[in-house]
Amino acid sequence: MACLIPSHTSCGPANWRHALNDVKKRPSEFALIERLFSPLTSSHPGAENLKDDCLTLPISSGCEALYSVDTLVEGIHFFSADPAESVAKKMLRVSLSDIAASGGSPRGYLIALSLPGDIPFEWLEDFAKGLAEDQIKFNLAVEFTRITFPFLLFVSLSSLFGGILNSNNKFAAAAAAPIILNVVLIISLIYSYIQGLDYAKQLSYGVTTAGIIQLFFLIYATKKFYKPALNFSLRFSNKVKFFFKKLLPSILSSGVTQINILVGTIIASFQANAVSYLYYADRIYQINLAIAGIAIGIVLLPSLSKYVENKNNTKIEFIQNKSLELSLFLSLPASAALLIASEEITSALFGYGSFDINSVKNSAHALFYFALGLPAFAMIKVFSSFLFARHNTKTPFHFSIFSVLLNIFISIYFFNKIGFIIIPIATTISSWLNTFLLLFYLLFKKYFSLYKSFPIKFLNILCVSSFSSFIFYQLIQKFNEYLMYESEYKLLTIVLLVIITILIYIITSIFTKAFKISDIKLKY
């Protein structure tokens, strides 16, 4: 049943019938169900007064059957131009989500199609193909999820021990831990090849195995600072209470970029293949963000917190300015490189097999707009650390909420007009706004002050980044034939060009004093 107006519209008994005839005042589907159809189920407990999406029927001792029916309407749930495969997949997934929400396991499905008489047979073929693909994917997803689910526990505990190391200014072990995952996955692939086993399944086992090894590696690394001990006491000290009070806002504000991506992914799911385009674009720019923002924030926070506690304003000002300069030094050239060669980079990394040239172009288009926001993504991590060091987690949280709401508004408002590409645009706009809000707040509260030399430093970094970007562009044009989608040397070529450009950037930066080796040291 389609909802024609917002669900908050209400009608009293006297004017209920009139409201049904007035489209503008028509009650929501849930209001209609509650008034007209729920009373019909009062004698059947399995119907649960139609408050759930599934009918529950007992079939044997301890077992129940779940039944779910959904209707997808063209123009409401999908567009007329959507591929038949995507329509079929969405129809199947809607019912699967209802079953999953009720804690059940699907055993089969029934479909009903109402189609115009002139629908081509090829459309039905593609529709059936979409159903077949999702049947296979669902079974594999369930199996692989069961295998990899323990990894969540292991990686969460690993993050805890990594945080202990970081708080003691020991960053090497925590940074090296993810290498274990890659090594184990490579070993899993080699083992699968030698034994002739299923690659995907063995990789699933590899993920869980890597999580266990990571955890024990970090436990061993933290033995000098922390010894795990079980405490069954329900009493919490003031420090523990303070920790949990600050925890939730900190989590949400720190993950605002990922929240924006998640929101965008949900909206993009209404367009065929859009989620995949955004995913691959996200993977590429996240590599740069991990270096330019996340890594700096991790190293910055312990040292800055120490000096904030000691009220050493000179050190605070120095570390804050150096971290901002380093963030810009790393993010600006990365952003420029992604803008210049978004398609070439996407093709070199993912342009193989079923990831065709059209997929490359769409992912590269998304990457282009994500790249515009890369400096903002990095500075959010840095500026948030400035406030976290002062135990202020609420302000970044409030700004993050505003950023997410703005992202949602822009994405929904323009999605029907320009499609999935609005997602990276909205994410970039909201992130830049979040960045400026954090900066203005820090300046207003006098938590941060820029060095007088910062404008010159920034201009220097900008000039060196522009020069390196120009060189990178010329290299891309020079070796373009090796970067074509069909080229078997495209990955090797793009890696070599990136390495050359990085070396030029570093050498030029040192020569022009835009960068010093000591600038990367944030531990004082």
At 400 the pLDDT is 85
Quick one: pLDDT at residue 47? 66
Give the type of residue at 110.
L
Domain of residue 88 covers 53-147
- Burial (0-12, 13-18, 19+ Cβ within 10 Å), 268: buried
269 shares a domain with 131: no
Residue 415, classed as helix, strand or coil, is helix
The reported pLDDT for the residue numbered 10 is 37
pLDDT at position 233, please?
67
| Mean pLDDT within 189-194 | 86
For the chain, the first-to-last Cα distance in angstroms comes to 63
Q: Which pLDDT score is estimated for 398?
A: 87
Residue 15 has pLDDT above 60, yes or no: no
Q: How far is CA 510 from CA 8, 215, 413, 514, in A?
A: 62, 39, 46, 6
Question: How many residues in the chain?
Answer: 524
Q: Are residues 307 and 433 in the same domain?
A: yes
8 A C-beta contact, residue 373 and residue 431:
yes
The more confident residue out of 466 and 134 is 466
Residue 507 in any domain: the answer is no
CA atoms within 13 A on the CB side of 517: 1
Find the mean pLDDT for residues 49-64: 69
**Is residue 323 a part of any domain in this protein?**
yes
- Does 248 reside within a domain? no
Establish if 300 belongs to a structural domain: yes
Amino acid at 329: F
Q: Is the pLDDT of residue 344 over 80?
A: yes
Q: Are the beta carbons of 253 and 383 closer than 8 angstroms?
A: no
User: Are 328 and 397 found together in one domain?
Assistant: yes
The pLDDT, as a whole number, for residue 2 is 30
* Residue 365 pLDDT greater than 60, yes or no: yes
Same domain, 350 and 431: yes
pLDDT of residue 145: 82
Interhelix angle for 313-340 vs 490-512, to 10°? 140
Q: Please tell me the predicted confidence (pLDDT) of residue 6.
A: 30
Strand partners, 56: 66
Tokens 């069954």: give the residue.
232
Q: What is the pLDDT of residue 371?
A: 93
Contact of 344 with 483, CB cutoff 8 Å: yes
d(CA 278, CA 411): 13
pLDDT in tens, 285-322: 877 776 666 667 767 777 777 888 888 888 888 888 88
> Is 166:124 a contact under the CB 8 Å cutoff?
no
pLDDT beyond 70 at 159: yes
Residues 307 and 295 occupy one common structural domain? yes
138 and 154 in a single domain? The answer is: no
Categorize the per-residue pLDDT at 375 as very low, low, confident or very high, splitting at 50, 70 and 90: very high
Instruction: Look up the pTM and report it.
Output: 0.68
Nearest to 331 by CA among 295, 385, 261, 379: 379
Q: Could you read off the pLDDT of 81-93 as tens digits, one per residue?
A: 778 887 887 777 7
Residue 63 has φ and ψ, to the nearest 5°, of: -125, 145
pLDDT of residue 468: 94
In a domain, 468, yes or no: no
- Say whether pLDDT at 16 is over 90: no
Q: Per mean pLDDT, which range of 302-306, 409-413, 459-463 is the poorest?
A: 302-306
Contact 524, 382 (CB under 8 A): no
Q: Total domain count for the chain?
A: 4
- In 3-state terms, what secondary structure has residue 64? strand
Quick one: average pLDDT of 392-421?
88
According to the model, what pLDDT value does residue 351 have? 87
> Do 331 and 366 belong together in one domain?
yes
Nearest-angstrom CA–CA distance, 192 and 200: 9
d(CA 66, CA 473): 58
Tokens of 284: 């590429």
Q: Does any domain span residue 465? A: no
Residue 250: predicted pLDDT: 66
Return phi, psi of residue 55, to 5°. Answer: -85, 135
The answer to whether residue 524 scores a pLDDT higher than 80 is no
Q: Contact at 8 Å (CB) between 357 and 490?
A: no
Same domain, 72 and 86: yes
Instruction: Establish if 524 belongs to a structural domain.
Output: no
Whether 297 and 359 map to the same domain: the answer is: yes
Interacting residues of 327 by C-beta distance below 8 A, sequence separation 6+: 292, 293, 296, 375, 378, 379, 381, 382
User: What pLDDT, on the 0 to 100 scale, is given for residue 177?
Assistant: 80
